[in-house]
Structure 1
Amino acid sequence: MHRSASRTPPMGWNSWDSFGTTVTEDEVLANAQVMAEQMLPAGWDTVVVDIQWYEPTARAGGYNDHAPLLLDGDGVQMPVEARFPSAAGGRGFGPLAARVHDLGLRFGVHLMRGIPRRAIDAALPIPGTDATTADIALPAGHPAARCPWNSDNLGLDFSDPASQAWLDLQIERIVGWGVDFLKVDDMLFPYHHDAIEALAAAISRAEERHGRDVTLSLSPGTHLSLAHLDHLRRHADMWRISDDLWDRWEDLDAQFTRLARWAPHQRAHGWADADMLPLGRIGVRAERGQPRHSMLTAAERRTMLTLWNLGRSPLFVGGDLPSSEDDTLADLVNTEVLAVGRDSHNTTELLREDDLIVWGATGTGPREGTRWAGVFNTADGARSVRVPLTSTGLTSAQSPGAGAVTELWTGRAIDIDPADPYAVLELDLDAHGTALLCTT
């Protein structure tokens, strides 16, 4: 079993929203540099290379069927040297991981469930077994064999012990490069119990061999059910709860309901993930859309960050950091907002009426005694709202004991008496906007 190491929701950058399948070593390092210089002090510490770093013909805007993946002699994926020149000479991601580590950051890569079709076709011997890579894949007609949206791999047949042997070899080799974070896709829709357990076992063995913790992230989260919660907690650090999210209000709006379902179950070593933050400059060479600054408004950006932190979701920004706006970067490193995700518990949706949603959370650890409330306007126009203070969780008639109320995005003190059980908050909220309130 993989022993999850994430005591707080993981935070980092992922190449997908900006570069899709085509990110280069120089682009990874440029983003890592910005993270190290401007974001690491606020807790952002992981840089992830997303899908098809092993695909020589990768292109923006989709996948190539039966792509000519670059593999080593055991069928394990290798970085394409044209995009990752430091991988030359069979060094894999070792040199790039070392440079990221030198910046004080962690390094991650994306993998697909299963074994590459090219490895199957090559019938490579599996060390320590009498089998070859042609023997361990599920037959093409098996319902768990194929990923519905990517043709690179076939699922492994875990009734054959050689499948675990090959998976152990793959994960050990990749972790041996210095990889600290594995995002593994095509795991949750449908839910592949056997593949998750085998992967967790392989990671545990690699962690022991290399003396390093590895964070395991599972994707995608289409129709992911709480029925799997205990299994997920035993085998992973984080798991997606939706399909891919983009810079559209309807995508953000849908996450209110999902996070309301999962937030009460968030705790150390197991985090429901509301997906990447499509903030800053995205779409540079991505799967969807042209190069652009995020189409979310400034109000929607703050709503997203407020909801993700109140819901204690992992935070992985998808924008190209060197070319993103200063206002976006400033919001991403607002330490008072980030403290909500890191140092809260009892996070829950408290109220939902018409276009008004209220969330609450209480502090723990260094924030013991702090209370937070997020007040959200999901209407398409600006509006003034009135909310009884006791409906926010900031104070109550039974336990008033709260200090002054502050709005954390603006730093503005709210003119209200927290000890008054009849006090009413009056807030002016932008369309799709939020106020994040705090008392201590």
Structure 2
Amino acid sequence: MPPTPGPVTTAAGGPPSRPPMGWNSWDCYGTTVTEEEVLANARFVAEHLLEFGWDTVVVDIDWSDPTAKAHGYNAGAPLCLDEHGRLVPDPGRFPSSAGGAGFAPLAAQVHALGLRFGIHVMRGIPRAAVAADTPVLGAGVGAAALADRTNVCEWNPDMLGLDHSHPGAQAYYDSTLALYAQWGVDFLKADDMLWPYQAADVEAYARAIARSGREIQLSLSPGRDLSLSRLAHLRAHATTWRICDDLWDRWEDVEANFARFARWAPHAGPQGWPDGDMLPLGRIGLRAERGEPRHDRLTPAERRTLVTLWVVARSPLMIGGDLPSSDPATIALFTNADVLAVLEATGNREVLREGPLVLWTAQGDGVGYVAAFNLGTEPLAVALDSLDVDLPARLGRVEELWTGEAVTTSPVTAQEDATRGVAPGSTAVPVTIEPHGAVLLRHTP
């Protein structure tokens, strides 16, 4: 049996050298995922993806709502609460949680597969707890005394804000994190935190995690209009933070993240990971917020572009499709070890954006990486100047990592004309890129 996962560290015991990677239920099951579906995906991750670094399984929003439905939320939903106003799983969808067990039995099953277990949480305190004025553990007051009715999520009806001028607000978060630690939670996707920016809640959540006695990664959402001026605060309190709104299987969603990643990727690393949202790839929309059951609507070239950009930008990677029913070509996107190695590169950055061509570079362990993207609708053939993409003037072996094929390069002499746009003394690296496509090159001296 695989061992229960330990703390998230590098081999040397420091912070992780790559961002979190795993599966999340949102894109395929929305608010309605069941225990059986979580376990089916967890088993798939353990059997097929764990060896490539995918090690986290996350139950997304509304796991406490017995009336959860596809395509939205239920106002006034009869959420499952414990005696202290804390959300607990709906035993109808999560049978192992019955009798006050919470997510502990499900987390134990996920851990037994060698994986980490995560859940989604919302900022604030449940309206139902406030209405019942349930006693808050460690606060000395009921939930009604802690509610801030002026700072409420605009898209989800379940929660009220917390009044952080009252010490009981911190006590409430402390009590929830103590419960999650008891369950064995390793990863928290905390929502309604960044738009607008909820600094007090971010800090209170980080304190509660620190007091819980368990190492828990904190992921903040959503990231609409997130300013780089927040970087220091985010690094001080969170593991990952979203830099965009929800991303779906539309090219315009993918393309919009090029500019965001160009701004944020230079700051990705063990101090924290800017997050471009989940990978809406494979079989999605089974009971999700948007659309009907489908294989994602991106073209094969667009799927490769999405994964290439997220990897070269060192974004967290959370697969959104139902893995057991996704096609083998999609699964193959997640099992290319050479591509995933770029997550541990350094200096990852955009170096050129001109017309449809976008170029990124990064440096690995003795190798150089170049990601070339075509945002246009026609095939693009270009000769890259090696010195323009942080490669040496004279090159060793260059290969394209998605295909594994060698790329034939040619040094440019002073006598040669410059019709290819490559300076004398450099090496020309010819690539042809599909519409909305990408190539990912690795140079080995």
Report the TM-score range of the alignment, normalised by the length of the smaller protein: over 0.9
Deviations 1:338-366 (A, max 9, x none): 0001x211011011110000000001xxx
Structure 1 residue runs of 5 or longer lacking an equivalent are none
Q: Equivalent residue for 2:368?
A: 371
Question: 1:72 is matched with which residue?
Answer: 82
> C-alpha distance in 1, partners of 2:86/2:339?
41
Counterpart among 114, 117, 124 of residue 114 in structure 1: 124
The amino acid of 2:210's aligned partner reads: S
SS at the partner of 1:427? strand
For 1:351, the equivalent position in structure 2 comes to 352
Q: How far did 1:425 drift?
A: 2.2
Tell whether the 8 Å contact from 1:404 to 1:418 is kept in structure 2 after alignment: no
Select which of 183, 186, 189 maps to 2:192.
186
**Residue 156 of structure 2 corresponds to residue 150 of structure 1:** yes
CA distance in structure 2 between the aligned counterparts of 1:129 and 1:316, rounded to whole angstroms = 36
Alignment of 1:5-24 (within 5 A): 5-24=15-34
Q: Which AA in structure 1 matches 2:362?
A: A
Q: Structure 1 length normalisation: TM-score?
A: 0.93
Amino acid at match of 1:310: V
One of 308, 311, 326 as aligned partner of 2:310? 308
Which residue number corresponds to residue 404 of structure 1? 397
1:253 paired with 2:255, answer: yes
Per the alignment, residue 429 of structure 1 pairs with 433
RMSD in angstroms over aligned alpha carbons?
1.5
The residue that corresponds to 2:378 in the other structure is: 381
**Count of equivalent residues:** 421
| Post-superposition offset of 1:418 | 7.0
Contact 1:7–1:269 (8 Å) recurs in 2: no
Pairwise CA distance, 1:103: 0.3
CA distance in 2, matches of 1:20, 1:67: 16
**Structure 1 counterpart of 2:37:** 27
Which of 201, 206, 211 pairs up with 1:200?
A: 206
Q: How far 1:126 moved relative to its partner?
A: 2.2
SS at match of 2:146: coil
Question: Is residue 439 of structure 1 aligned with residue 440 of structure 2?
Answer: no
Q: In the alignment, is the contact (CA less than 8 A) between 2:409 and 2:430 conserved in 1?
A: no
State the SS of the aligned residue for 1:155: strand
Shift of 1:259: 0.2
1:48 corresponds to: 58
Mapped to 1, the partners of 2:440 and 2:165 lie a distance apart of: 51
Instruction: State whether structure 2 residue 178 is matched by structure 1 residue 168.
Output: no
The residue identity in structure 1 corresponding to 2:408 is: D
Counterpart CA distance in 1 for 2:245 and 2:404 is: 34
- 8 A Cα contact 1:5 1:215, kept in partner: no
- Equivalent positions of 1:271-350 (< 5 A) are 271-341=273-343, 343-350=344-351
Distance in structure 1 (CA, Å) of the matches to 2:200 and 2:331: 40
**Does 2:95 correspond to 1:102?**
no
Instruction: Give the TM-score normalised by the residue count of structure 2.
Output: 0.92
User: Do the aligned partners of residues 5 and 75 (structure 1) sit closer, same or farther apart at CA in structure 2, a change above 3 Å counting?
Assistant: farther
Could you tell me how far 1:403 is from its partner in structure 2?
A: 2.1
Q: In 1, distance between residues paired with 2:353 and 2:140?
A: 60
Preserved contact between residue 47 and residue 106 of structure 1 (Cα < 8 Å): yes
* 1:414 maps to amino acid: V
State the alpha-carbon separation in 1 of the partners of residues 175 and 190 from structure 2.
Answer: 16
Q: Secondary structure at the match of 1:191?
A: coil
Shift of the alpha carbon at 1:11? 0.2
The secondary structure found in structure 2 opposite 1:135 is helix
- 1:31: Cα distance to partner? 0.3
Post-superposition shift, 1:320? Answer: 0.3
Does structure 2 retain, via aligned residues, the 8 Å contact 1:48–1:108? yes
Equivalent residue, structure 1, for 2:265: 263
Percent of pairs identical after alignment?
54
The 8 Å contact of residues 411 and 426 in structure 2, kept in 1 or not, is answered as no
Q: Distance in 2 between matches of 1:182 and 1:417?
A: 50
Are 2:52 and 1:36 equivalent residues in the alignment?
no
Distance 1:11 1:411 in 2: 23
Deviation of the 1:419 alpha carbon: 9.4
Aligned letter for 1:313? S
1:223 corresponds to 2:225: yes
